[in-house]
Amino acid sequence: MELQGKVALVTGAGSGIGKAAAVLLAREGAAIGVLSRTEDEVRQTVAEIERAGGRALPLVADISESDAVRSATDRLAGEFGRLDIVFANAGINGVWAPIDELQPEEWDRTIAVNLRGTYLTVHHAVPHLKRAGGGAVVITASINGTRTFSNTGATAYSCTKAAQVAFCKMTALELAKHRIRVNVICPGRIDTEIEENTEPRNVEREKEPVEFPEGKIPLTDGAAGTAMHVADLVLFLVSERARHITGTPVWIDGGQSLLVG
C-alpha cells in the first residue's frame, strides 16, 4: 500500500478517469476526498471505496466556484488532518463549433471549468500541501492543444489544455522549494463518458480532411485506452517512485497523437 497515511483530493471523481483514480489510490491506502458536482455519482464512488475497506469523504462542488472549492478542500483536510495529493482531473469538452459560431458564453464556460477550475483546485490545496511538508499534484490535460490540433471546433477546449501544461510547468518550478511536485497527463482517446458531454455544432462544415493510417491508435490497433490505464499513471506520479519528476507532461495515448498532430 504505497499511499498508506496519505490524503488525496480527486476532482471529477464521480466517473471515468477520476473515479478509477480515486478507487485505485484508496486501494493503495490513501484517504480520498471524492469531489464532483453530481452528488449521486460522488456517493457511488465513496460507497465503492468503502466496500473495499478504504476511507473516503463525499464532496460536492463546482470547481469553477472559488468558495465551493475552498470549502471542500478545507473540509477534507479537517476530516483527515492533512492533504498530500491532488488530482485536478475535472473538466468538460464543452461546445465544439466554428470560431465564428462559438458564442462568448460557451467559450467562457469551458475556460471557467477547465482552466479556472484547475487554478482554484491547486490554489486552495497548496496551503494544505505546504503544511504537510510537501506533496504531489497531477493535472489532466489532453493530446488536444498539446500535440493534436485536427479536432475542428475544439478551440476553447484545446486552449485550456495547452494552458494546463504551461500552468504545470510554472507551478512546478514555483513550488519545488516546498517539495510539492506538479505534473500533467495528456490522455488520448480513453473509454469514458466524456464524449456524452461534448456539444458539437456545424464542425463538419469547417473540418479539414485528414487521412489517417489504418488503426488510429498504433499501440492497440485502434482500441481506446481505459480509465484504469490512466489511473495507473496517476498512481505512479503521486507515489515516491516519481519523487524526482516534476514539471513534466506525460502523453498517454498509445501513440495516437504521433499520427494526427
Catalytic residues: 157
For residues 137-152, b (16+ Cβ closer than 10 Å) or e, as one string?
A: bbbbbbbbbbbbbebb
Count of other CB atoms within 10 angstroms of residue 172: 19
Q: What is the radius of gyration, based on Cα positions, of the chain?
A: 18
- Alpha carbon separation from 128 to 56, 76, 77, 81, 124 (Å, rounded): 18, 10, 7, 10, 8
- Alpha carbon separation from 93 to 66, 85, 236, 252 (Å, rounded): 21, 25, 26, 18
For cell 486552449, the residue is: 159
- Alpha carbon separation from 185 to 81, 90, 161, 164 (Å, rounded): 28, 13, 10, 10
**What sign does the dihedral 192-196-197-202 (CA atoms) show?**
positive
Distance from C-alpha of 190 to C-alpha of 15, rounded to nearest angstrom: 13
**What count of residues does the chain have?**
261
Strand bridging mode 94-96 / 198-200 = parallel
Looking at residue 180, the DSSP 8-state letter turns out to be: E
